[in-house]
Structure 1
Amino acid sequence: MQTTDRVMSPGWAADGGSPGVVREVGWPVRLRRAVAFRNVSALYLLVLMVVVFSVWVPDTFLTSGTWRSLLSDQAVTCLVAVGLVVPTAAGVIDLAIGAEVGLGAILVARLLVGHVPTPVAVVLSLLAGAAVGLFSWLMITKARVPSFIATLAVSSLLAAATAWISSSQQIVDLPAGFGRLGTGQLFGITYPVYVMLGVAVLLWYVLERTPAGRRVYATGGNVDAMGGSSEAAALAGVRVSRVILFALVTSGAVAGLAGLLLTSQLSTGDPTVGPGYLLPVIAAVFLGSTQFRGGRFNIWGTVVAAYTLAVGVKGLQLAGLPIWIPDLFNGAALLAAVGLAAWRKPPLTRREAILRLIRNNTTTAWAARRARRRELIARATTTDTAETPGWAADGGSPGVVREVGWPVRLRRAVAFRNVSALYLLVLMVVVFSVWVPDTFLTSGTWRSLLSDQAVTCLVAVGLVVPTAAGVIDLAIGAEVGLGAILVARLLVGHVPTPVAVVLSLLAGAAVGLFSWLMITKARVPSFIATLAVSSLLAAATAWISSSQQIVDLPAGFGRLGTGQLLGITYPVYVMLGVAVLLWYVLERTPAGRRVYATGGNAQAAALAGVRPSRVILFALVTSGAVAGLAGLLLTSQLSTGDPTVGPGYLLPVIAAVFLGSTQFRGGRFNVWGTVVAAYTLAVGVKGLQLAGLPIWIPDLFNGAALLAAVGLAAWRRTPATRVRDGKKSRRRTHVRDR
């Protein structure tokens, strides 16, 4: 810590010789470091963009009105990004931040039109944002759901809540006085700018000058890409759970504040405004981490990055470029920001390497590794014996197995822990059969359910492969949308149907290849890389379709999605064929074993001779091709190329994959468990729709199902060794007490 503090203190630098020896440096060295591109690259980018747009569109870009509006309009985005710095610095990926802004925006509007006093409405909106952070904390720390999955599900729940509060309509006729909060000016600058600066100063002081801030950085300093908690911080005495609670509640409250300021600026409560903030603020936070603080998430770097990105988007809009340019710019900026952050992160110093070596060779670290080995051996033994028909591990010595009879095998096969989705399916069928028997218990309903869900199930089956390899593909919905619109554009361009189909599949595979390059070569975490890729694909889809539906497709192509065999549409057979093929590859071939080995522990797999990079390439290309196939089948079913259909598949397929991992295979992602889970979730949504419930019910159901699925998967994976170790520990404690 002494070396770190001196390096960070102005005027000091580590000597090139013995560790711990420092020397004071002069102002030329300090100035050179301060203006180095690696330290303030966003400022150089800002200057470059100002020069370019000043030459390109001088009449509109170089006006005081443009810059005042840019400063004011970007204040809300910058405020959200500043709030997001706290959980991100703590190692928590909050994908619900945009939905939290939307909730704050619509809740304050509903309260105000309900004649709630403005101060009370403001406080309640802030408390609602904090409550969302509290709920996310419960899911992450108590239900053991990875942060990016938990917050992705929470965003779906918030979308349902926002639609319910607003009745999916804009809320108007707000009090005139409330509008001045967002539009009033002081010295020609609107109030939200001052609010943003005030929050930024406060959070900067907390993070950089208080013990709470040091705990935040300590917690996030040893967090894996899956959003797990920091063991190093916990061993150092930091209460990681409390730090995450503080971070999420703070972020939620700031997002609620940003939402009410947005409503004040618009003088309208708009239920659709929130999600659009997700990509810009994540890009600002990650780009900001490359500024000023040597690769560490920080407040002022985020502020500079947010306004730098805003200048780029504003200049492109003023230049008259298409409306999909912001999606393209934000996606590219996010990839560049995270890739630059990975490049900016300095290598370990000699002192840090020695300290890490010492930490990894303490008695506590040795005990943790021994416990982990016992856990892995127990899991492998359980998996191997469970996969061998007629055999089970003996309760005595490890490795001793005994043959069991058919009653034991049958009891295990129908246990709730193994086939919970089937029990849930039966329960829902009974409930909806009693609730809406006239519409639910008809052959037409079930045939349409089987056919309509085939595309969703196909996408989920394809997603099993990268998920089993440890890759989170948040671009899967956008890949479906790309396949859907690309095949339509090719067909109306008189490309033969077989060629259009092949090109759509190749486009999906190419997206997987690009994602692989970002993850393995640019070292961007998979969930961030695929989130950015989804924005790029949204721009590509809007460009291909000109943001319009593509109609007048060849009649023969429509039969691919609507033709029937034995009363069942072709997409069902396609889905089953792909499922059988992927099941065989994953469960019966060396390639499948390499996929599971990579997803279980990529470093261990590499040491065992597996090439994780090639496995991830195979997984992403396969998933992309399957998503492209699903997209063209969807277009065939609709007889229209719709550029808006893709994103809606993200939540249902992720929920199906994670719920499917609790079925049949002992907590392992698998194909047939995913198929069962997909249709189970579809029955729930269909029954609720037939019951005449509001249109926001699917968002609520999918979000709740995703949380339940991942929480159940975490519970399902709890190894028996932990139970035995807990019993031994209690017995030792009892003996000592005696």
Structure 2
Amino acid sequence: MSRYAVLVVLIALVVFFCVLMPRTFATGGNFRVMASSQTVVLILAIGATVVLRTGEFDLSLGNLMAFSGVLLGVLYDHGFSAVAAISVVAATGLLVGFVNGFLVVRIGVSSLVATLGMLSVLAGATFALTGGRRADTYPPGLATFTNKTLFGLPLMTFYGWLAVLAAWYVCERTALGRRLLFIGGNKDAARLAGVRVDRIRIGSFVAASALATFAGIVISGSLGSVDPGIGASYLLAPFAAAFLGATAITPGRYNSLGTLAGLYLLTVGITGLQLLGGALWIPDVFNGAALLFAVTLGLLAGRRRG
């Protein structure tokens, strides 16, 4: 039952809020909003999950998302074509991931320290690009790319689900996924077994940064403008979802399906509390409590197995 505990709690929360608020929570519109509103967080959470699977952290993902969104707007406003602007943004995101990976893997800097430093660098660079103003000039087709509906949901919702499926396939059905898990369990043993540990670890940072960059493009099209300070609000939620996900589906392992379940549990809980009249600080408290719960549960489960 531990595999499905998060799913059981998720279903229980849905039923509870539906019974309590049938006219507000239990509506098709509310479920569509819950499914689509957290797409950016979901994409970032999958990126975080990939790095966590190797035993590392990447705290810079939220700020890289904001930087990518602002950079795209600035480039397009300065005469770059849509294709050229997106290409530059994509290349920049990959470079950030490579720098993170190089610092951690080749230099030996702690991933927490390296990505925390990158988080600060990106925050400053994002504000420098616009002087603190919003970026609000984007290719006209970008809104269609994210907001056009399919089966009643914006297209960006399906991009998030595709990211989950792609990560699930790579991590659970390929040799690369097994190597990621092997490295996360014991880097030295993986190296002795012939696994290219350094290359795969750097690759995990690059993949996570690619997802964060894509999230920046998605949020640009979805909102039509990006505040340079938006990255800070996307720091906690992806990790809360990833750590909750490690207690579900395949307990003890960071996995994309578990991350998806964890994210929707957070979404349902926060939405329900807000509809009940909860204050604006509810999301931060709920995400933080969920993160503490998931980490504590993981430690207790590890001790029991030991």
TM-score w.r.t. length of structure 1:
0.40
Distance of 2:276 and 2:82 partners within structure 1: 40
Amino acid in structure 2 at the alignment position of 1:421: V
Amino acid in structure 2 at the alignment position of 1:702: N
Match status 1:435 vs 2:20: yes
2:253 counterpart residue number: 668
Distance of 1:666 and 1:706 partners within structure 2: 15
Give per-residue Cα distances to partners, 1:484-535, cap 9 Å, x unaligned: 2111212222322233223222222111111112112332111111111100
- 1:437 aligned counterpart, secondary structure: coil
Give per-residue Cα distances to partners, 1:691-728, cap 9 Å, x unaligned: 221111111101100001112222344454x4xxxxxx
2:130 counterpart residue number: 545
Match status 1:654 vs 2:239: yes
Distance of 1:596 and 1:699 partners within structure 2: 30
Match status 1:606 vs 2:191: yes
1:490 counterpart residue number: 75
Query: In structure 2, which of residues 63, 73, 90 is the aligned counterpart of residue 505 of structure 1?
Result: 90
Query: In structure 2, which of residues 75, 99, 102 is the aligned counterpart of residue 514 of structure 1?
Result: 99
Query: In structure 2, which of residues 144, 148, 152 is the aligned counterpart of residue 567 of structure 1?
Result: 152
Give aligned-pair identity as a percent. Answer: 35
Contact 1:435 1:691 in 2 (8 A): no
1:7 counterpart residue number: none
Distance of 1:642 and 1:429 partners within structure 2: 32
Contact 1:457 1:679 in 2 (8 A): no
Contact 2:98 2:205 in 1 (8 A): yes
Match status 1:530 vs 2:115: yes
Distance of 1:633 and 1:535 partners within structure 2: 22
Distance of 2:273 and 2:80 partners within structure 1: 41
Cα gap change, 1:447 to 1:609, in 2 (>3 Å): same
Distance of 2:48 and 2:86 partners within structure 1: 20
Question: Residues 268-347 of structure 1: matches in 2 within 5 Å?
Answer: none
Question: Residues 243-282 of structure 1: matches in 2 within 5 Å?
Answer: none
Question: Residues 370-519 of structure 1: matches in 2 within 5 Å?
Answer: 415=1, 417-519=2-104
Query: In structure 2, which of residues 220, 243, 259 is the aligned counterpart of residue 635 of structure 1?
Result: 220
Contact 2:25 2:275 in 1 (8 A): yes
Shift of 1:614: 0.8
Match status 1:588 vs 2:138: no
Considering only CA atoms, is the larger Rg found in Structure 1 or Structure 2? 1
Distance of 1:458 and 1:479 partners within structure 2: 13
Question: Residues 200-219 of structure 1: matches in 2 within 5 Å?
Answer: none
The farther-off stretch of 584-593 and 668-677 is 584-593
Distance of 2:5 and 2:249 partners within structure 1: 10
Question: Residues 88-167 of structure 1: matches in 2 within 5 Å?
Answer: none
Give per-residue Cα distances to partners, 1:394-433, cap 9 Å, x unaligned: xxxxxxxxxxxxxxxxxxxxx1x11111111122213322
Distance of 2:137 and 2:89 partners within structure 1: 18
Contact 2:74 2:137 in 1 (8 A): no
- 1:666 aligned counterpart, secondary structure: coil
Distance of 1:696 and 1:689 partners within structure 2: 10
Amino acid in structure 2 at the alignment position of 1:529: A
Contact 2:66 2:226 in 1 (8 A): no
1:192 counterpart residue number: none
Determine which structure has greater relative contact order: mean sequence separation of CA pairs < 8 Å that are 6+ residues apart, divided by chain length. 2
Distance of 2:79 and 2:270 partners within structure 1: 38
Distance of 1:520 and 1:468 partners within structure 2: 15
Distance of 1:701 and 1:431 partners within structure 2: 17
Amino acid in structure 2 at the alignment position of 1:473: D
Give per-residue Cα distances to partners, 1:346-377, cap 9 Å, x unaligned: xxxxxxxxxxxxxxxxxxxxxxxxxxxxxxxx
Give per-residue Cα distances to partners, 1:329-354, cap 9 Å, x unaligned: xxxxxxxxxxxxxxxxxxxxxxxxxx
Contact 1:472 1:527 in 2 (8 A): yes
Any stretches of 5+ residues in structure 2 without a counterpart? Answer: none
Shift of 1:451: 1.1
Give per-residue Cα distances to partners, 1:123-164, cap 9 Å, x unaligned: xxxxxxxxxxxxxxxxxxxxxxxxxxxxxxxxxxxxxxxxxx
Distance of 1:488 and 1:437 partners within structure 2: 41
- 1:439 aligned counterpart, secondary structure: coil
Distance of 1:638 and 1:563 partners within structure 2: 13
Question: Residues 681-720 of structure 1: matches in 2 within 5 Å?
Answer: 681-718=266-303, 720=305
Amino acid in structure 1 at the alignment position of 2:244: L
The farther-off stretch of 476-485 and 655-664 is 476-485
Shift of 1:666: 2.8
Contact 1:666 1:716 in 2 (8 A): no
Question: Residues 57-72 of structure 1: matches in 2 within 5 Å?
Answer: none
Distance of 1:484 and 1:713 partners within structure 2: 34
- 1:646 aligned counterpart, secondary structure: helix
Distance of 2:279 and 2:43 partners within structure 1: 27
Distance of 1:491 and 1:447 partners within structure 2: 31
Please tell me the root mean square deviation across aligned C-alpha atoms, in Å: 1.5
Shift of 1:684: 1.0
Contact 1:666 1:717 in 2 (8 A): no
Distance of 1:468 and 1:462 partners within structure 2: 10
1:554 counterpart residue number: 139
- 2:24 aligned counterpart, secondary structure: helix
Amino acid in structure 2 at the alignment position of 1:499: A
Any stretches of 5+ residues in structure 1 without a counterpart? Answer: 1-414, 723-738
1:175 counterpart residue number: none
Amino acid in structure 2 at the alignment position of 1:616: R
Contact 1:635 1:642 in 2 (8 A): no
- 2:279 aligned counterpart, secondary structure: coil
Amino acid in structure 1 at the alignment position of 2:77: V
